[in-house]
Every structure is written in structure tokens, then in C-alpha cells.
Amino acid sequence: MTQRIPLQNLTTEAAVEHHSPSSNDSRHQPSNNNPSNNKPPKLGHIYVREIGGFFQRIRRCSNWLLMALYFVLPWINWGGRPLIWFDLSAQEFHIFAATFYTQDFILLTWILVLCAFGLFLITVAAGRVWCGYSCPQSVWTFLFIWFEHRLEGPRHRRIRRDNAPRTFDTFLRKTAKHTAWLLIALATGIAFVGYFTPIRALVVDFVSLNAHPWALFWIGFFTVFTYLNAGWLRHQVCLHMCPYSRFQSAMFDANTLIVSYDAARGEPRRDHHQKGVEAPSVGDCIDCELCVQVCPTGIDIRDGLQYECIGCAACIDACDSVMARINKPLGLVRYTTERALEGKETRFWRPQLIAYAVALLSMVVLLVGFLNTRVPIDVDVARDRQTLFENTVDGRIINYYNVTLRNQAGQSHRYALSAEGLPGLHLQGMDTIEVGANETRSLRLALTAEAGVLTQPSHPVELRFTSLEEPSITSVSETRFLGPSGE
């Protein structure tokens, strides 16, 4: 459960922070609340205090749901194979009931562009809620912090231990914490590789030390970087490695929903030790710094909008808990817009937001339409390069072709083969072929035609493949039929 510290103890914890390596006196100074106030990031270790509240319950639920999906999906089978499986060796990508191949790479590009526009739309409308509630860096960082709270204790105790001589109790607590972090990182690495290698066999091979060297390499790689990013770097990844925090300012406007401090209501700040002081010139902010203590990036939201803010709303829940205890209205720190803070009406629908919404909706409609009309058969026809053509004793010309046929449907199909483009064009050998679900077949075909119908050395012809079960599934491939000139 979240620990609740009485107001009189808040200054004691702030005093502990003052002597810690992460101390920064600039946090105590009020600013002009300039939204473009992009100050240099505060370096050093940040001791994050745990806080409860409405928005933190939403964040924790979303975090646990996302992690559950990440770890569970590789274990679910569908039709005898993993539900999501990127089979690089076979160049097949299985996502639920659909199978995609390398020639479907344009779909991946399309989906990535669609996700980018979706992120732009969310940013214009609601700021960095993606960072605070769904970003993998934030999700894993909050998970590591959750274990840190339980194994090393509350924030003020962690600060005291780190500034005091090392004891056996401190050693045990830190060992337990880092062990838990490494186990989480290892599970993360195994789960990630499990999207590319069936995870059931992968876990057995890993435990028995029989895993493929490349599988071991990638498990180790993601284990190390998960441990470093979520356990040690944390906010430094958001501040120095993620480009999103840098270009978000170009997407914000006065109507964007942001986490903000109401300076008109909170300033000038008052000392909560001065009980009974209710002068008109004193604001609601009691300068307890609880909003700073719970911030995962270590900023003071009272200094205005800063690019370090990830919109997790921890400062909102912290401030609301203080306001409730001193019988003041909630919302001194809240989700709002610059126009609302100025007493103006917020305009939700504006040209920038409408443009992103229209673009996103158009791409979704086109993608759904493409997937619905996508023919679940792919044919690759290549002429045999060893011989251009052959002459038969009865005066016919033979051309040979190498055909790769992929059945991208979830059930097997029998395909009828036919050829068109020349009078009397005939397909020698098989005229039907059965291909299993998500199977690839290779075959060699021979086309023959009368030599007399060839009026030039090369004629365009078509090879047609039609499913006997579903005639609407048809693929037509154009190629060339070679022979001597008829002149």
C-alpha cells in the first residue's frame, strides 16, 4: 500500500534530500511559468517517492495489462503455431490467423506510418500521455521502481541509507533489488526472443544450455539493456536518447492538454508550518515539494511546461492528496491547457488536430480495404535460364518456367493452372496443384505452342492460378514465351 506521510514530516524529507547528491536549490524558486522554459535536465540519481491516486491507478492498470500481454502472447498457440511469430528463417510473419511474407513489407511500413500519425494525433490532443502511460521505457522503469520501493523501503529511507555508511542490511536489500531487476530483465529478453523463436522450445533449450548461440546472444543483449535502461538510466533515456521529447514542442499549442501548475491560484507560496495563516496574498501552494518528490524525471512542475515532463500525472495525485488534507479545492496541479489557465475557452477541434485525424482515418480505411481485398495467394514466375526454348519433332516450341506458389490462407487449396496469350498454347504436365495452409510450393512448368503462331521472338503470355474451392482467389502472372521468329 502507498505510504501516507503527515504534512509535518514533508519538510523533514525535503531536508534529507537537501543533503543528498540529487539536491538542486533551483527547484525551490518560483518561475514565470513560461511554457517554453526548457531548462537543462537535472542529472544525478532521482529518489522517486511512491504515491497513490486516481491517475496512478489508471497508469498501474495499463502498465500491468501491457506487461501481461507482452509476456503471455508468445506462449499462446494458434493452429499449431505461436499466435505471434516472426519466423525470419522462413521469411514468414504470423500474426494471429494471418501470415505475411517479405513481399508484404509495404504493409509493415504502412502500419508504422499509421502508428506515427496516431502518436502525432494523441500528442496534439493530450500531450505526452503515451510517455506516461504506455511507453515501454516508462512501463519497465515504473516496474523497477515498484520493486525498489518494496525491497529498499520508502524514499526517505533510501536517501538515508545511501548517505550513511554501508551496513549488512543495506547490502542485503540492494542485492535483493538488483537480483529482482536482473530476473525481470532476463524474462524480458527471453520473451522478446520468443516472438522470433517458439518460446516453449526456447525455454527448454535455455534451461538445458542447448539454446542456439544467436538466441543466447539476443537474450543476453536485451537482458543487459533492460537492466541498464529501466534500473540505472531511467529518466536519462527519456531526456537524452528519445527524440520524442525534443520535437514534441513543435506539436504542442495553447489547446493541448498538459500537466500544469495553476500559478495564479498557488502563488505566492506559503509555509505550511504557519498554521492559521489565511492572508489574501497567500496562495494555496504550501511548498511541500511532494510534487517534486514523486516525479520520475525529477522536475518541478511549478516551473512551467518542460520537455522532461512525461505526463504521468504523479504530481497531480500528490498535490490533490495535500489539498484534500488542508481542505483546499483539488486541481492546483491538473490536466489543463494554456488557454484554460488564462481563463479562455479551450478549442478541441482545430486545423492541426483535424488534419491528423483525417489523415489517420484515411490510412486506416485504406489499410482495412487492402487487407479485405488481399488475395491469399502469391505467385512468383521466373523463366528457366538454362535454355531459351526447345524444338520438338512435331514442330512445337517448349518454354520452361520455375514457379513458387505460396498459399497465404489459413486452409489448404487446390489450384487449377492455365495459360493464355497464344493460339494453341498448352500447359504440359500437371494442371492442378494442392498447397497446404501457409505453405510454399515450388514447381517447374512447361508451355508449348505451334512454331507457326510465333510472329516474333518474344510473346507475352499469362499463367493463371485459380482456387477450385474459392474461384474468387485467382492470381495472374505475366511472363514471356520465346521462340524463333516466324518471319
- Tell whether 394 is covered by a domain: yes
Query: What is the extent of the structural domain holding 448?
Result: 377-482
Taking phi over 0 as left and psi of -120 to 50 as alpha, with beta for the rest, 234 belongs to left
Phi, psi of 390 (to 5 degrees): -130, 150
- Tell whether 38 is covered by a domain: no
Phi, psi of 142 (to 5 degrees): -65, -35
- Tell whether 30 is covered by a domain: no
- Tell whether 371 is covered by a domain: no
The sign of the dihedral angle between the CA atoms of 111, 257, 50, 42 is positive
In this structure, the dihedral spanned by the alpha carbons of residues 201, 204, 208 and 210, taken in order and rounded to 10 degrees, is: 10
Distance CA 332, CA 328 (A): 9
| Strand partners for 446 | 400, 428
pLDDT digits 0-9 by tens, 207-240? 999 999 999 999 999 999 999 999 999 989 988 8
- Tell whether 442 is covered by a domain: yes
- Determine the residue type at 466: T
- Whether residue 98 is predicted with pLDDT greater than 60 in this model: the reply is yes
Could you identify the residue written with the cell 504534512?
A: 7
Mean of pLDDT over the chain = 86
Three-class secondary structure of residue 386 per DSSP: coil
* Percentage of the chain lying above the pLDDT 70 cut: 89
pLDDT band, residue 266 (cuts 50/70/90): very high
For residue 279, the tally of other CB atoms under 10 A from its CB is 8
Between residues 173 and 307, the one the model is more confident about: 173
| H or E element that contains 126 | helix 105-126
| Strand partners for 404 | 380, 442
What would the grid cell of residue 183 be? 530476473
- Determine the residue type at 208: S
Q: Mean pLDDT throughout 151-177?
A: 95
Tell me what percent of the chain is helix, strand and coil, each rounded to the nearest 5. 45, 20, 35
Distance CA 63, CA 74 (A): 18
- Tell whether 154 is covered by a domain: no
pLDDT digits 0-9 by tens, 48-84? 999 999 999 999 999 999 999 999 999 999 878 899 9
Q: Mean pLDDT throughout 300-311?
A: 92
Distance CA 330, CA 406 (A): 61
Q: Which residues contact 246 (CB under 8 A, 6 or more apart)?
A: 307
- Tell whether 409 is covered by a domain: yes
Of residues 147, 360, 338, the one with CA closest to residue 259? 338
pLDDT digits 0-9 by tens, 379-405? 999 998 888 899 988 889 999 999 999
Of residues 435, 324, 395, 295, the one with CA closest to residue 7? 324
For the ranges 3-12, 118-127, 177-186, 304-313, which has the lowest average pLDDT? 3-12
For the ranges 12-21, 92-101, 425-434, 463-472, which has the lowest average pLDDT? 12-21
Distance CA 35, CA 127 (A): 13
- Tell whether 408 is covered by a domain: yes
> How many domains is the chain partitioned into structurally?
1
- Determine the residue type at 128: R
CATH code of the domain covering residue 459: 2.60.40.10
